[in-house]
Structure 1
Amino acid sequence: MIFSLIGQLKAFVFGSPNSPEVYRTLKIADVPVTTAECRSCADPCDEDHDDFPSGLDIDMDSDMLGSVYPYRRQVLISTGKRDWEIEVTEAKGTLAAFLETANSSLSTPKKPNDPLPSGLLFSHTEAKFLSILNGSHRPFSYDESEETVIVLPDFMVVSGVSRTLAGAEVLWKAALDPALDRAGVITRTDNLLNTWVLPYSCLILLCSHKRRDKRCSVTAPILEKTFHLYLEREGWEVHTNLYDLTSEPSLESQASSTTEKERLVETQLKSLHAEHRALILMSSHFGGHQFAGNCVIYTPRGAGVWYGRVTPHNVESIVKHTIIDGQVIPTILRGGVDLPCRGKKTLYDW
Structure 2
Amino acid sequence: MYLSRWCRSAAFTKANSTIITRHASSQPRSRIHLPPPFPVIESCPLPTCACRPAPTNLDIDREHSLNGTMAVYAEQVLVSTGRDDWKSRIEEEDEADFVRELKGLLGRGGKFCDPYYNIALTNSSFSPTDPSSGTSAYLLPSFLYVPAIPTSKSSIENFVKAFLQPADLHNTLNVLSPEQKKLLTGDPSLQQQFLKVVDVDDILVLICGHNGRDRRCGIMGPLLRSEFEEKLRMKGITPPTGTPVQGPHDKMVHSARVGLISHIGGHKFAGNVIIYLPPSMKSNALAGTGIWYGRVSPEHVEGIVNETILGGKVISSMFRGGIKKGGELLRL
Q: TM-score, normalised by structure 1?
A: 0.69
Q: Could you say which residue in structure 2 is the equivalent of 1:3?
A: none
Q: Could you say which residue in structure 2 is the equivalent of 1:304?
A: 290
| 2:229 maps to amino acid | H
From the superposition, tell whether residues 128 and 299 of structure 1 become closer, same or farther in structure 2 (CA, over 3 Å): same
- Percent identity, aligned pairs only, is 31
Contact 1:135–1:282, Cα closer than 8 Å, also in 2: yes
| 2:307 maps to amino acid | H
Contact 1:77–1:95, Cα closer than 8 Å, also in 2: no
Alignment partner for residue 122 of structure 2, among 133, 155, 166? Answer: 133
Distance in 1 (alpha carbons) for counterparts of 2:191 and 2:269: 44
After TM superposition, list the pairs within 5 Å mapping 1:313-328 onto structure 2. Answer: 313-328=299-314
1:179-229 CA-to-partner distances (Å, cap 9, x unmatched) read 29xxx96644974443001131x2110001001101111111111111111
Superposition deviation, residue 141 in structure 1: 1.2
Superposition deviation, residue 230 in structure 1: 1.3
| 1:101 maps to amino acid | G
Distance in 2 (alpha carbons) for counterparts of 1:158 and 1:284: 19
Contact 2:159–2:191, Cα closer than 8 Å, also in 1: no
Alignment partner for residue 165 of structure 2, among 177, 182, 191? Answer: 177
- SS class of match (1:77): strand
Please tell me whether residue 283 in structure 1 is matched to residue 261 in structure 2. yes
Q: TM-score, normalised by structure 2?
A: 0.73
From the superposition, tell whether residues 142 and 94 of structure 1 become closer, same or farther in structure 2 (CA, over 3 Å): closer
Report the number of matched residues: 267
From the superposition, tell whether residues 245 and 31 of structure 1 become closer, same or farther in structure 2 (CA, over 3 Å): closer
Superposition deviation, residue 79 in structure 1: 0.8
User: Could you list the runs of 5+ residues in structure 2 that have no partner in the other structure?
Assistant: 1-31, 169-185, 280-287
From the superposition, tell whether residues 167 and 51 of structure 1 become closer, same or farther in structure 2 (CA, over 3 Å): farther
Distance in 2 (alpha carbons) for counterparts of 1:165 and 1:101: 10
Superposition deviation, residue 131 in structure 1: 0.4
Distance in 1 (alpha carbons) for counterparts of 2:187 and 2:257: 26
Contact 1:146–1:163, Cα closer than 8 Å, also in 2: yes
Distance in 2 (alpha carbons) for counterparts of 1:67 and 1:100: 23
Distance in 2 (alpha carbons) for counterparts of 1:96 and 1:327: 34
After TM superposition, list the pairs within 5 Å mapping 1:1-350 onto structure 2. Answer: 28-35=35-42, 37-41=43-47, 48-89=50-91, 91=93, 93-104=96-107, 105-107=110-112, 109-110=114-115, 128-143=117-132, 146-179=134-167, 187-188=189-190, 191-200=193-202, 202-239=203-240, 243-245=242-244, 271=250, 274-301=252-279, 302-338=288-324
Distance in 2 (alpha carbons) for counterparts of 1:107 and 1:163: 17
Contact 1:89–1:132, Cα closer than 8 Å, also in 2: no
Superposition deviation, residue 91 in structure 1: 4.6
Contact 1:291–1:308, Cα closer than 8 Å, also in 2: yes
Distance in 2 (alpha carbons) for counterparts of 1:299 and 1:189: 24
CA RMSD, Structure 1 to Structure 2 (Å): 2.7
